[in-house]
Amino acid sequence: MEAIYLKYSHDFRDYTGASQKRRVLYALGQLDLPSISALQDKVLRDPAVFSRLLQFLTIPVSEMFRDPAYFLALRRQVVPVLQTYPSIKIWVAGCSTGEEVFSLAILLEEEGLLARSRIYATDINPTSLEKARQGIFPLEAVRGYTANYQRAGGRRAFSDYYTAAYDAARFDPALCADVIFADHSLATDSVFAETQLVSCRNVLIYFNRQLQDRALGLFHESLCHRGFLGLGAKESIDFSRHAASFDALSRAERIYRKAS
């Protein structure tokens, strides 16, 4: 990880040891290499191998309306406050291939907020960001997301939002008209905008306490007065250095509000 940092400036040094070890061992198998030193040698000599390793290290796994109760809580408890702002900025940190971004865009559209919202969707994996920009997802998976959408309080037919062709679903590009997909690392970069909502789900789980604190510090700095923070189902701000800087809005759905 030190070597990767020095060569490529991607900082994985403060990710949790156990899951990182699993991913490196999995990568060895996939890349057909006998040892970690062989992997290190290849990665440092060949940026294309690093690019492949990045796919294993970053876990680009996502789904639309993942944990529907989270999106339902956003709809019921956060949207009414967002409606009071003339313009809204949202940061989806660790957006992966875009499923969370499209879910939020659909929710905002149904609540009449999309036209005055800008979403910053950031990640460290350029391949994932490119997929997210395209807004094309496997049709089979999208059909599976329909139930999530309905449980998240969806108001229309989910198929209204995409066009199916062969085995792919292309989401309406209008949903992403004001989404900025950008490379940004919670490990090395700083805050770039003032936001009303930060949604960072299933990312902190891979970080050690120190890096979680860094990321939560960035979210705190980015959020406006009484702004909202949403985390993943297995994540929390309890025990963090920033615990006292947030109030729990929905502890069950991991939605917090910047303390006044």
Ligand X SMILES: C[S@@+](CC[C@H](N)C(=O)[O-])C[C@H]1O[C@@H](n2cnc3c(N)ncnc32)[C@H](O)[C@@H]1O
Would you tell me which residues interact with ligand X (CB under 6 A)? Answer: 58-62, 66, 93-96, 99-100, 123-125, 128, 185-187, 201-203, 232
Least CB distance to ligand X at residue 103 (A): 9
Joined together, the tokens standing for residue 178 give 């004001």
- In the three-class reduction of DSSP (H, G, I as helix; E, B as strand; rest coil), residue 260 is classed as coil
Least CB distance to ligand X at residue 85 (A): 23
Q: Which is nearer to ligand X, 19 or 83 (CB)?
A: 19
Least CB distance to ligand X at residue 209 (A): 15
Q: How many CB atoms lie within 10 A of CB 108?
A: 24
**Cα-only R_g, the chain:** 19
Which amino acid is located at 148 in the chain? N
Least CB distance to ligand X at residue 12 (A): 8
Which amino acid is located at 143 in the chain? R
Q: How many CB atoms lie within 10 A of CB 75?
A: 18
Q: Which is nearer to ligand X, 202 or 222 (CB)?
A: 202
Question: Which uninterrupted H or E stretch holds 137?
Answer: strand 136-138
Q: Which is nearer to ligand X, 66 or 75 (CB)?
A: 66
Q: Which is nearer to ligand X, 39 or 101 (CB)?
A: 101
State CA 67 to chain mean position distance: 13
